[in-house]
Amino acid sequence: MVVALQSQPSALLPVVAEVLPRVARIALFIAFGVFLANLAVGFGLVERVAGLSRFLTGPANLPDEVGTAILTTAASTTAGYGMLAEFRESGTLDDKATLVAVTINTFFGFVQHIFTFYLPVLLPILGLRVGLLYVGSRALVALCITFTGVFAGALLLSPANVDQSTTTAADGGAQERGSDTPREVVHNAWDRTLPKLRRIVPRLAVVYTLVVVLTRTTDLTALTEVADPLATIVGLPGAAIPVIAVFALDTTAGAATIAPLVGVDFTARQAVATMLIGGIVSFAVSTFKRSIPFQYGIWGPRFGSKVVAVNTALKIVWIGAAVATLLWIPSPL
């Protein structure tokens, strides 16, 4: 019994060491996003940036405030989500409008990865032709998801789904802009940010801890067994199966695995289709390890489940469309 009790703290240390930095980093970006949302409204910045994103928010029947979240997402996905969470909490957006806004955010969340991962990491590994075809395919998928959100907003949203009178005031009342000094605006914005952090951070810590414990005790690699029937159905060569399995678990390793096989076992289009299917297979793993903890931490289990379901469904549909286009529609590429 003494040995068991002594071993428990040491067994928890790796879990704590993995969870704490992740929660701290996400909490920092959420705090930045919520604080920025409050500042944007307090200083009247919404009107100044609205024109840059109104071509999306206007047709989708979303308020200008959502435009600030969209632009912020291009720099930080977490901060952009934090701003949307603030708009939902304040009553500016109802659940349906928030789901539309999250969907529209997709392409802008992808943009930052182009410069931080796809171009500097994957392009040198895959080569110019395959690399650009893959990055372009992923960008087109993200853009199609964003326009799906715009179309959904135009079709499903009305003024009943948006309450612009609330802005981001914590008490739900209308906020009179210009009546406070800059120092008061900053102070009020921070006061409205703290309650969100007190609610979100503990939830993040609990969910991430559960996920880390489960991933350390469960073999998630079995999920990649679906690669075999997927590759067979779409008509990829047999060499695609191990590549998909590797790509599903690690994007960089998968790219390094398939790169020397292009021109031997794969055409450029088959190689990109293989990597895209690897991305579909990896959703099961990445959703469990990253998406669910992140979304549950921000939105809570009920609405977070809706966000995860919508994101996953749209990604699978549009990546599936991209794979079909690459493999079955003639093209000189």
Output the CA–CA distances (angstroms, integers) from residue 122 to 132, 142, 275, in the order listed.
9, 18, 12
Would you state the pLDDT for residue 178? Answer: 47
Nearest to 100 by CA among 55, 156, 46, 144: 156
Cβ-based neighbours of 192, under 8 Å, separated by 6 or more = 34, 38, 86, 168, 169, 170
Q: Which letter does DSSP use for residue 40 in this model?
A: H
Q: Report if residue 7 sits inside a domain.
A: no
Q: What is the pLDDT of residues 159-195, one digit of tens each?
A: 999 987 765 443 333 344 445 677 776 777 677 667 7
Query: Are the beta carbons of 244 and 230 closer than 8 angstroms?
Result: yes
Mean pLDDT of 134-162: 95
Query: Are the beta carbons of 33 and 80 closer than 8 angstroms?
Result: yes
The domain of 274 spans 12-328
Supply angle C-alpha 32, 282, 327, rounded to 5.
115
Q: Report if residue 310 sits inside a domain.
A: yes
Is residue 217 scored above 70 in pLDDT? no
Query: Are the beta carbons of 22 and 212 closer than 8 angstroms?
Result: no
Domain count for the chain: 1
Q: Report if residue 218 sits inside a domain.
A: yes
The CA distance from 218 to 177, in Å, is 52
Q: Report if residue 315 sits inside a domain.
A: yes
Q: What is the pLDDT of residues 62-76, one digit of tens each?
A: 988 888 888 888 777
Mean pLDDT over the full length of the chain? 77
Would you state the pLDDT for residue 43? Answer: 64
Mean pLDDT of 267-292: 82
Q: Report if residue 5 sits inside a domain.
A: no
Nearest to 87 by CA among 184, 161, 176: 161
Q: What is the pLDDT of residues 75-101, one digit of tens each?
A: 778 878 888 988 898 889 999 999 999
Q: Report if residue 297 sits inside a domain.
A: yes
Print the SS3 string covering 150-183. HHHHHHHCCHHHECHHHCCCCCCCCCCCCCCCHH
Is residue 42 scored above 70 in pLDDT? no
> Sign (positive/negative) of CA torsion 54, 36, 298, 320?
positive
Q: Report if residue 167 sits inside a domain.
A: yes
For 168, phi then psi, to 5°, come to -120, 25
The CA distance from 42 to 39, in Å, is 5
> If pLDDT is split at 50, 70 and 90, which confidence band does 224 have?
low
Q: Element (H or E) spanning 208, and its range?
A: helix 182-217
Q: Report if residue 66 sits inside a domain.
A: yes
The CA distance from 10 to 8, in Å, is 5
> If pLDDT is split at 50, 70 and 90, which confidence band does 254 have?
confident
